[in-house]
């Protein structure tokens, strides 16, 4: 069964559902996600798409990174 990442959910929700999301996001370039304070504050309202726009990270590369780790990405 595929694990699904819904990009409309907050980063906090995704990391709570799938803790491995933290590692994947760090590998993509979201270094601050490993900071519990950041995850518990900004992560509650920030989505991956919003963070990608702020950090100029291509959404296609994010999708590919999650798919490589066995996730299907819902947009």
pLDDT digits (tens, 9 = 90+) for 6-59: 989 999 999 999 999 999 999 999 999 989 999 999 999 999 999 999 999 999
Residue 51, CA distances (Å) to 1, 2, 10, 20 in order: 28, 24, 10, 18
Please say if the pLDDT value at position 1 is more than 90: no
Q: Residue 2: its pLDDT value, please?
A: 78
Ordered structural domains, the chain, with CATH: 3-74 (1.10.3910.10)
Q: Residue 69: its pLDDT value, please?
A: 95
**Mean pLDDT confidence for 58-67:** 95
Give the confidence band of 75 by pLDDT, cuts at 50, 70, 90: confident
């Amino acid at each position: 069964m595929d694990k699904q990442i819904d990009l409309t959910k907050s980063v906090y929700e995704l990391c709570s559902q799938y803790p491995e999301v933290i590692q994947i996001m760090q590998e993509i370039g979201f270094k601050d996600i490993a900071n519990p304070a950041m995850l518990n504050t900004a992560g509650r309202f920030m989505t991956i798409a919003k963070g990608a726009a702020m950090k100029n990270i291509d959404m296609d590369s994010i999708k590919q990174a999650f798919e490589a780790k066995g996730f299907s990405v819902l947009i």
